[in-house]
Amino acid sequence: MNVFFSRPAAALACRLLMLVALVSLLAPLVAAQERAPAQLFEAAQCLATDPLHWVDVSNKKELVLAYLPEGRSFNGARFIDVVVYNSSKHDQGFIFDIRVREEGRKHIYSIENNAAWKKLGEEYKFDEPPLGGNFRQNQMVSILQQVHHHHKWYEAQVKQLLKPNAHLRCESKVEDVPPDTKPVPSASQPAVQPAEKSSASPKKWF
């Protein structure tokens, strides 16, 4: 038996099919609209507000972020790996290795390692190898692959990231401080001071 649709019904069916197709195409992008979880948000606060300027937010309204919620442990310490994108295609950005701990009511995030990366085809390329060489670089590649496989991205408003957080403490140490900004160490003064703001390659670690 043949079934015939009226023109209005056929047009409606066509529109529904187009809507379904559009939703399926936009699904990965919708994931980026989710609000960043508390731990990811606090880590991003450190990246945005640290005097070392890990992430330049001066001309941005939001950051697009990703991470693996389960994190990882090493020698009893907890770590999360935070990805910050600087491309709407999610094909380049930075990855940060951040140690997480608590002291009383303080949430402490210590930036331990980082690297700038780009996705070329199915491969991830690094501008400079991270601390730990190929071993750590391979771990970072695995993390990036997992993040992109799940299509789970988050947005954090810069104006919210820049707000003071009394429960947050950020830590990091680097060795690429310009000679004219490095003071003579003393018992009451750290040996390394923040470098000038820069958008160059990632910092090098002790």
Q: pLDDT (tens digit, 9 = 90+) per residue, 51-94?
A: 888 999 998 999 999 998 878 887 778 999 999 999 889 999 99
The whole-angstrom separation of Cα 92 and Cα 126 is 10
Rounded to two decimals, the pTM is 0.70
Q: Are 178 and 52 in contact (CB under 8 A)?
A: no
Nearest CA to 100 among 154, 40, 56, 152? 40
Q: Are 98 and 45 in contact (CB under 8 A)?
A: no
- Mean per-residue pLDDT over the chain, rounded: 77
Find the angle CA(98)-CA(112)-CA(101) to the nearest 5 degrees. 45
Which single residue is written with the structure tokens 């980082």? 114
Beta-carbon count within 10 A of 48 CB: 21
Question: What pLDDT tens digit does each residue of the chain (206 aa) get?
Answer: 555 545 665 556 556 556 544 444 444 444 445 889 999 999 999 999 998 889 999 989 999 999 988 788 877 789 999 999 998 899 999 999 999 999 999 999 999 999 999 999 989 999 898 988 899 999 999 999 999 988 889 999 999 999 999 999 999 866 544 444 333 333 333 333 333 333 334 454 43
Beta-carbon count within 10 A of 112 CB: 19
Q: List the domain boundaries for the chain.
A: 30-177
The whole-angstrom separation of Cα 83 and Cα 156 is 13
Report which DSSP code applies to 123. Answer: E
Q: Are 31 and 153 in contact (CB under 8 A)?
A: yes
The whole-angstrom separation of Cα 42 and Cα 81 is 13
Nearest CA to 200 among 52, 40, 45? 52
The whole-angstrom separation of Cα 173 and Cα 8 is 67
